[in-house]
Amino acid sequence: MTRPVDVVVIGGGQAGLAAGYHLRRLGIEFVILDTQAAPGGAWQHTWDSLHLFSPAAYSSLPGRPMPPQPGQTYPDASHVADYLTDYEKRYHLPIQRNTRVGAVRRQGDRLLVEADTGTWAARAVISATGTWSRPFLPAVAGRDIFTGRQLHTVNYRSPTDFAGQRVVVVGAGNSGAQIAADLALAGEAEVTWVTQRPPRYLADDIDGRALFDAATAHRQALNAGRTDTGGVASLGDIVAIPPVRADRDAGLLTAQPMFTRLTATSARWDDGHEAGADAVIWCTGFRPALAHLAPLNLRTPRGHIPTDGTRAVDEPRLHLFGYGDWTGPASATLIGVGRPARDAARQITELLQ
Ligand code: FAD
């Protein structure tokens, strides 16, 4: 049976909830479809010690401020998941869980949203599926012959899983620095941190607040045709949250250049030196989870879906956000996703009239 509905939101993480908030405010009929069994999107699956890089007051979705977490300036992931759980209850957001959308197709004046639990015929669709389900692993020589464990950021939980082991952590971003710091601080594993270019720390007094301001200024400058400010990337890559700062200052976080290849039991550099490894943790980023949009044929040969703001240029009934600056400044952050969600909901209202 195909169910008619005005809007389907695909994904029930923070981006999907922000969409729901604005759709509800504008009186639009919608449903949110989400693969997860529980609320919280990706925040349910991060490692145990992960803390936000902004205080609670700078990590709120529209409408409801995130309460501070007692005893923590920077809330942890479980606090964020609790906040999102409370958020969807407070606004009575209609979320259908355990539902994976496999395809979105055009059918006349509707977009058919095909999921494993049914099909919806929508007048507009918001794709808010995030990136967590699409970890990216670089093509590095020897990856297929390494006999130790290989994990991605998404699989890392706690240093206790690596007690007594030699671990190579790859990646110069926040995940790489934080996971290397987590392992080094616990002192149970022998950690080698490798980065393609030397780590670029943000100044110690800069956190997510400044990143959001920089992303916004960057977008405004581009929109106004002014000189590119360089945005967030110009500030650095790694937010020096307290554990990272402590490890760095104690000399526990010293990065080596990227190795050239993996052997069966080690990482090997050009000059022939090696680090024996029982595990490699790839903190090498993510790609947008967009496979369900493939039937719409919107990707350019470079794999990108062109958008005007959040709206797909070649399919005006489709909006995308939460994937990064590409679909709105800081749209992949808690504080930044509200604005693209509001803009998308407004444009959908106009479309539905
Ligand atoms: P997600 O939380 O991933 O939610 C997407 C939802 O869609 C999931 O529930 C998923 O299961 C579902 N889904 C996916 N595909 C389908 C499908 N086909 N059908 C149905 N449902 C589907 N941001 C901050 O603001 N502050 C921070 O300090 C911060 N720290 C971060 C640290 C790390 C390590 C990472 C990776 C990110 C961090 N972020 C931070 C960024 C950002 O806030 C998160 O990535 C956030 O989870 C993105 O929210 P989202 O709703 O776009 O995606």
Are 71 and 103 contained in the same domain?
yes
**Assigned domain for 111 exists:** yes
Q: Are residues 74 and 106 both part of a single domain? A: yes
248 and 329 assigned to the same domain: no
Are residues 258 and 347 both part of a single domain? no
Pocket test of ligand 1: the residue of 129, 131, 175 to mutate, having most ligand atoms within 8 Å of its CB, is 129
Domain co-membership, 128 together with 19: yes
What separation in Å is there between the alpha carbon of 245 and the centre of ligand 1? 25
Is 140 a domain residue? Answer: no
Enclosing H/E stretch for 80? helix 77-90
CB-neighbour burial class of residue 311 (10 A; exposed 0-12, middle 13-18, buried 19+) = buried
Residue 214, pLDDT above cutoff 90: no
pLDDT tens, position by position, 295-329 = 999 998 887 899 999 999 999 999 999 998 888 88
Nearest to 186 by CA among 170, 162, 168, 203: 162
Residue 218 lies inside a defined structural domain of this protein: no
> What's the domain count of the chain?
2
Question: 223 in a domain, yes or no?
Answer: no
Q: How confident is the model at residue 230 (pLDDT cuts 50, 70, 90)?
A: low
End-to-end CA distance of the chain: 26
Mean pLDDT of 241-264: 91
- Confidence label for 205 from pLDDT (cuts 50, 70 and 90): confident
Question: pTM surpassing 0.85?
Answer: yes
Under DSSP, is residue 43 helix (H, G, I), strand (E, B) or coil?
Answer: helix
Q: Can you tell me the mean pLDDT for 185-198? A: 94
Mean pLDDT of 48-74: 93
Q: Residue 22's domain is classified under what CATH number? A: 3.50.50.60
Cross-strand pairs, 106: 111
Average pLDDT over residues 88-96: 97
For ligand 1, the distance from its centroid to the CA atom of residue 131, given in whole angstroms, is 6
Residues 296, 181 within the same domain:
no
Distance 24 CA to ligand 1 centre (A): 21
Q: Do residues 245 and 305 both lie within one domain? A: no
With cut-offs at 50, 70 and 90, classify the pLDDT of residue 219: low
Instruction: Describe the chain by its helix, strand, coil percentages, rounded to 5.
Output: 30, 25, 45
- Which pLDDT score, from 0 to 100, does residue 160 have? 96
- In a domain, residue 215? The reply is no
Does some domain include residue 35? yes
In angstroms, rounded to a whole number, what is the distance separating the alpha carbons of residues 316 and 312?
Answer: 6
CB of 283 shorter than 6 A to ligand 1: no
pLDDT at residue 210, as a whole number: 73
Do 14 and 75 fall into the same domain?
yes
> By residue range, what is the domain housing residue 278?
149-201+237-282
Confidence of residue 241 (pLDDT cuts 50, 70, 90): confident
> Domain check: are 68 and 157 in the same one?
no
- State residue 77's pLDDT score: 96
Residue 219 lies in a domain: no
Is 322's C-beta closer than 6 angstroms to any atom of ligand 1?
yes
In ligand 1, the atom with minimum distance to the C-alpha of 323 is 52
Residue 222 has pLDDT above 90, yes or no: no
Q: Does any domain span residue 160?
A: yes
CA of 149 to the centre of ligand 1 (A): 25
Q: Is the CB of 33 inside a 6 Å radius of any atom of ligand 1?
A: yes
At residue 158 the predicted structure's pLDDT band, cuts being 50, 70 and 90, is very high
> Which of 133, 212, 281 best tests ligand 1's pocket when mutated (most atoms within 8 Å of CB)?
133
- Residues 318, 273, single domain; the answer is no
Mean pLDDT, the chain, as a whole number? 93
Residue 233 has pLDDT above 60, yes or no: no
Residue 234 pLDDT: 57
The reported pLDDT for the residue numbered 237 is 81
Q: Are residues 73 and 155 in the same domain?
A: no
Q: Do 157 and 248 sit in the same domain of this protein? A: yes
Q: pLDDT tens digits, residue range 106-140? A: 999 999 999 999 999 999 999 999 999 999 999 99
Q: Which helix (DSSP H) or strand (DSSP E) does residue 190 occupy?
A: strand 190-195
Whether 112 and 293 have beta carbons less than 8 Å apart is answered as: no
Q: How far is CA 308 from CA 20, 118, 153, 236, 267, in A?
A: 21, 30, 31, 27, 43
Percent of the chain with pLDDT over 90: 78
Average confidence (pLDDT) over 236-251:
86
